[in-house]
Every structure is written in C-alpha cells, then in structure tokens.
Structure 1
Amino acid sequence: MVLLNKGRYRARLAQSDRDVADAQALRTMAFRTERIDSDRFDGICAHVLVEDMRARGQLVCCFRMLTMAGGAEIGRSYSAQFYDLSALERFEGKLVEMGRFCVHPDWSDPDILRVAWGAMTAYVDRNGVEMLFGCSSFAGTETGEYLDAFAMLKQRHLAPKRWLPRVKAPDVFRFASRLRRTPDVKQAMLRMPPLLRTYLMMGGWVSDHAVVDRQMNTLHVFTGLEIGAIPPARKRLLRTVAG
C-alpha cells in the first residue's frame, strides 16, 4: 500500500517478508550492529519503507509502527521494556509507537525526513491516531557531549506530569534532577538527534531521564507527541506534504 509519492521518493507499507528483511538489513547498516537487527516486535508492527525511485527503488529510510487502541495496551509496546508507562494507561485515544527509524548512511537529502513524516501524517489521519510515541536515541552511551541537549530537554520539553514515564531500566541518566546548567541553545540543537528535533518542533515531550542502552550503544529518551497539541501551522505543513 502506497502512503505517499513526493518527488523522487515513495513511501509505502511493507507487503512481504522480503520487504521486512530489506528494512532489517537497512537498520543493521544504519545502526552498525554485528547481527541482523530484528526482534519479536517486527512480526506485530507495520513497516514503512521510503524508496528512491530515481535509484531503482533503493530503500533509503524505514521505520515501524505498532498501533494500540488505547493506553490500556501500552504494556505491549517496545518502550515499555525500558520505561514504567503506567501513567499512560489512562490515555483513551488510539496510539502508535514509532520505532527503529533510520536513514541510509549514503543518503543525506532532508526531503527523506519530510517524506517519512508526510507518510506518518497520512497514516495518522486515516486511522484516527491521537498520540505518537517512541524512544529517541542519541548515538553512544556517554552523556558528556549531550549535556546542553539534555539541559534544553529539561528546561523546555519535559512530559506533562499526568503522562510522565517513571524509571524502570537499571541504568539511567536522570538529567532532569541532576543537571544544573543553562543550555547553550546552538550546541543543544547541534547535538539533538534529527528525529527528536522534529518531534520537539511539533510540540513533543520527553521523559525526565535517559536510558543507557549498551546493547544498542545508545542513550534514549521516551518521546511522546499528542496529535491535538501540534501547532496549527505545523499541522498544515505536514498535511501539505502528506497530500
């Protein structure tokens, strides 16, 4: 199923085991894992593939989506392995967990990210989704180079108390309670992962701690985005791309 055609790129849902295997291969390359990047969630998620049609349909971006009818199902999400999400069990609308987002390392066109979000917007609108969430990752497990980014998250982007994830993982960086610095905005934005930057521009929020994931060699924060809270101008822009 094609979600979006825009310029040289096409975004579609995976239709076969081969499509999923191609996504796993791209993830393995992008995340630089020693083994094929796959897990039990691949079998229950929808996979979005972004292809460059001027490069013979080369897969240049992918991510997966797990749809839940409401917050009561939050415990079956990937993120629930790392965060206590019991506060979100009260969320009544439909949710989608967006995960394993990656872009081919040889492609740097910013239109790829726009097409990916346009495809997500099309899916959200068609299915009445009210919240997107997932884990936003910083490369590596050392916090030092990201202190300005974490200070900015603390200052401007913490989750509302009613949805705030609690600590569950054994190894975490409690940046909201530990950092006592005013962020350098320029440095913060330079060190902020592109996907997280996009969430934040749309009104997204994060957990008050980062999980240290040594298996994936990342630091990640739980990230949520309530669709109804997206600024109208940003929503119009996304729907223009999606249309």
Structure 2
Amino acid sequence: MHNDRPAPLLETRWADCEEDVRDAQRLRYRVFAEEMGARLAPPDGTPPGLDADRFDPFCDHLLVRAVDPADAAKAPGPLIGTYRVLTPEAAARAGGYYTDTEFDLAPLAPLRGRALELGRSCVDAQWRSGSVIMALWSALGQYMVEHRLDTMIGCASIGLGDQGLEAARLWHRLCRTHLVEQRWRVAPRVALPLDAHNASDADGDADSDMAPPAPPPLIKGYLRCGARLLGPPALDVAFNTADLPMMLRVDDVSPRYRQHFFGVDA
C-alpha cells in the first residue's frame, strides 16, 4: 500500500511572539539536556523543560518547522530546528556576546560593530539532514544582508564523552589549515587540556594507530563555507562540551555558497 501523503515542507521564519521563543527553548532543552546531558542553569522562574539564559530576551530566534501541506492552514507544524542570533546593538544592551563568557574577544574589537553572533543551534534528532541546515543558513544569510553585517562569530561544540580526546585532536588537526591570522586569535577563559598525547595523535605519527578525526557535520559545514578557527577550544562544564571559537566573514565565503546564501550581489 503506497503512502500518497506529500512530504512535509520546511517553513523558516523568525519568532515573533513569546510562544515561538518557548518552542525554541523546548527544542533546545530536548537536545541539550535530555539528549546531550547538559546541566542547565536557567534564570529563576523559568518553567521546567526549557533551555533559557539571560541572553535570550536580546536575541532574534530563527525557527524551522515541518509543515504538512495538507494541514498547512490548520497548524504551524512541529519545530525541528532553531538558531538564535545576537546583533551588535543587542549585544551592547546585553553586556556582550555569549561567546564573551567563554573567550577573551578583545582581538575582535575592530569587527564587533558589524558582527553577528550565532548560538544555541540545534535540530531535532529525527530531522538532522542537510535540507534543514540549508534552510537555516539561507535565512541567516538574508538576515546578514538585511542588517548590513559582514561577520559571524560563535562556538561549535564537541561532546566530551571521550574526556576531550576527539576535540583536542580535532583542534590540532584544524589549527594547521583553518586558523585565522594572528591578529584575530582569541584565548579561552577555561581551556580544554591539550596534552602531548592528543597532539601526537593528530599529527598522524607512525606510532599512532588513530586516524585524525573528521570534523562533526556542523563544523564541517562551517569550514566548507569558509569559516576559520579563532583559537583553541574552551571547556564548557555545564554543557559537557569543548567549544571551538569560529568566525565566518562574508568576504571569505566560497563563491557557490555566497550566491546561495547572500545573493549574487552580496
């Protein structure tokens, strides 16, 4: 028996009410707390089952929903992906970027006036496909154009299920090929330990039987677009992750992605 029901459509839009933001925070809770085991510490008064922090009220929240074409007029569809973004003006009101809490961003001072921070990116486990990520990034690209911004900064997280071995080895591998020039490099406030054992593994020494790790899909996507590492990873104890600081400047975006995300004239 064939299922003739049309495939869900991906609807991308920005949150425009408190319930939209709550939906994003519920998805974040499911991914970060229930799936990844993060120990969240939301502000007092936050309802249970939400991932919230002090930056949320200052951010714009991007939402991707799976819409059933047959019921599009009846229901908005489940939320399957989200990002939050913090503009330079909003960051000034918030007292800085979230990334400031993990890294000393002083070297980026000349860029901050036109730098957007990306954060809290997550996709529902059943929807982790390229199409959802592309939908999110297309909306982010248009947002950059509309707000006349030319730089994205943020952290890309790697789980610490192996006590940080993969994250350290990945850093040692990528810092040779994807590290920004010296003037933009930032330092973590609490650094992930990067011992000699991890370094030798990443070097691919003859004595090592471990191949250099491949970047996780999200980091791989960033690098493919033209993103660069800003420095070594920070240790995020609450989220049980190593966070790599990353920056993507519009001028560095590869031509194929520049046209797709920012338009021909970007």
TM-score band by shorter chain is 0.7 to 0.9
Root mean square deviation of aligned Cα: 2.9
Amino-acid identity (%): 27
- Normalized per residue, the structure richer in strand is 1
Which residue of structure 2 aligns with residue 11 of structure 1?
A: 12
Which residue of structure 1 aligns with residue 247 of structure 2?
A: 224
Matched-pair contact (CA < 8 Å) for 1:174–1:208: no
- The residue type equivalent to 1:51 in the other structure is R
Query: Where do 5+ consecutive residues of structure 1 fail to align?
Result: 1-6
Residue 128 of structure 1, CA deviation: 1.1
Give the Cα separation in 1 of the matches to 2:227 and 2:82: 21
Matched-pair contact (CA < 8 Å) for 2:88–2:112: no
SS of residue paired to 2:176 = helix
Q: Structure 1 160/70 Cα, relative in aligned 2: closer, same or farther at 3 Å?
A: farther
Give the Cα separation in 1 of the matches to 2:39 and 2:251: 40
Give the Cα separation in 1 of the matches to 2:195 and 2:113: 30
Residue 92 of structure 1, CA deviation: 6.2
Matches within 5 A, 1:93-132: 93-132=113-152
Q: Structure 1 16/73 Cα, relative in aligned 2: closer, same or farther at 3 Å?
A: closer
- The residue type equivalent to 1:38 in the other structure is A
Matches within 5 A, 1:196-211: 196-211=219-234
Matched-pair contact (CA < 8 Å) for 2:225–2:257: yes
- Which structure has the larger Rg? 2
Give the Cα separation in 1 of the matches to 2:112 and 2:21: 31
Matched-pair contact (CA < 8 Å) for 1:74–1:88: no
Q: Structure 1 27/129 Cα, relative in aligned 2: closer, same or farther at 3 Å?
A: same
2:179 to 158, 162, 167: 158
Residue 127 of structure 1, CA deviation: 1.2
Matched-pair contact (CA < 8 Å) for 2:157–2:244: yes
Q: Structure 1 153/73 Cα, relative in aligned 2: closer, same or farther at 3 Å?
A: farther
Which residue of structure 2 aligns with residue 179 of structure 1?
A: 199
Residue 91 of structure 1, CA deviation: 1.9
Per-residue Cα deviation, 1:1-20 (whole angstroms, up to 9, x for no partner) = xxxxxx81111110111111
Q: For this pair of structures, how many residues does the alignment match?
A: 230
The alignment's TM-score, normalised by the length of structure 2, stands at 0.77
SS of residue paired to 1:76 = coil
SS of residue paired to 1:15 = coil
Which residue of structure 2 aligns with residue 3 of structure 1?
A: none
Give the Cα separation in 2 of the matches to 1:92 and 1:208: 17
Segments ≥4 residues shifted beyond 6 Å: 70-75
Larger mean CA deviation between 26-35 and 226-235 belongs to 26-35
Q: Given the alignment of the two structures, is residue 64 of structure 1 paired with residue 89 of structure 2, yes or no? A: no
Q: Structure 1 206/128 Cα, relative in aligned 2: closer, same or farther at 3 Å?
A: same
- The residue type equivalent to 2:181 in the other structure is P
Per-residue Cα deviation, 1:98-134 (whole angstroms, up to 9, x for no partner) = 0000001122332001101111111111111110010
Give the Cα separation in 2 of the matches to 1:138 and 1:146: 6
Residue 203 of structure 1, CA deviation: 1.4
Per-residue Cα deviation, 1:164-193 (whole angstroms, up to 9, x for no partner) = 112322x433489x724435998532xx22
Q: Given the alignment of the two structures, is residue 38 of structure 1 paired with residue 52 of structure 2, yes or no? A: yes
- The residue type equivalent to 2:79 in the other structure is L
Query: Where do 5+ consecutive residues of structure 2 fail to align?
Result: 1-7, 41-49, 70-74
SS of residue paired to 1:215 = coil
Q: Given the alignment of the two structures, is residue 133 of structure 1 paired with residue 161 of structure 2, yes or no? A: no
Residue 69 of structure 1, CA deviation: 5.1
Matches within 5 A, 1:43-58: 43-54=57-68, 56=75, 57-58=77-78
Matched-pair contact (CA < 8 Å) for 1:68–1:74: no
Residue 199 of structure 1, CA deviation: 1.4
Which residue of structure 2 aligns with residue 145 of structure 1?
A: 166
Give the Cα separation in 1 of the matches to 2:55 and 2:27: 16
Q: Given the alignment of the two structures, is residue 90 of structure 1 paired with residue 110 of structure 2, yes or no? A: yes
